[in-house]
Amino acid sequence: MIVAVATQKGGSAKTTTVVNFGAALAERGERTLIIDLDAQSHATLWLLGSTARQVGPFVHDWLDDRVEPDAAVRPTRWCDRPGGGTSMCSQQISA
């Protein structure tokens, strides 16, 4: 299942929805990958903390063909659950 949450309007709870929906899926035992394409990288901040936004490789490194996609995937605290959650981060996508 692939779920995309998108709307041009900022502050409309996209990130809040994605982070909580992803965590709920992981807690139910689903393998969950959250892809954070927003240059604000708030999903990454929420799931992994501020230091994760400074250490690459990032999702834009994969989009630019500099790394394989797996290189940008980080484990989250939900990874010890039966399904496990993961996150991609995108800080500096606009740098």
Ligand X SMILES: Nc1ncnc2c1ncn2[C@@H]1O[C@H](COP(=O)(O)OP(=O)(O)O)[C@@H](O)[C@H]1O
Judged by CB under 6 A, the chain residues 14 through 53 that form the site for ligand X are: 14-16, 42
Q: Which is nearer to ligand X, 13 or 39 (CB)?
A: 13
Only segment of 13-21, 53-61, 64-72, 74-82 that touches ligand X (CB under 6 A): 13-21
CB atoms within 10 A of CB 84: 16
* Dihedral pair phi/psi, residue 78, rounded to 5°: -85, 0
Q: Assess contact for 26 and 83: CB atoms under 8 A.
A: yes
- CA 41, 46, 44, 92 dihedral sign is positive
Q: Is 41 in the site for Mg ion (CB under 5 A)?
A: no
Only segment of 10-18, 21-29, 65-73, 76-84 that touches Mg ion (CB under 5 A): 10-18
Residues that bind ligand X (CB under 6 A): 10-16, 42
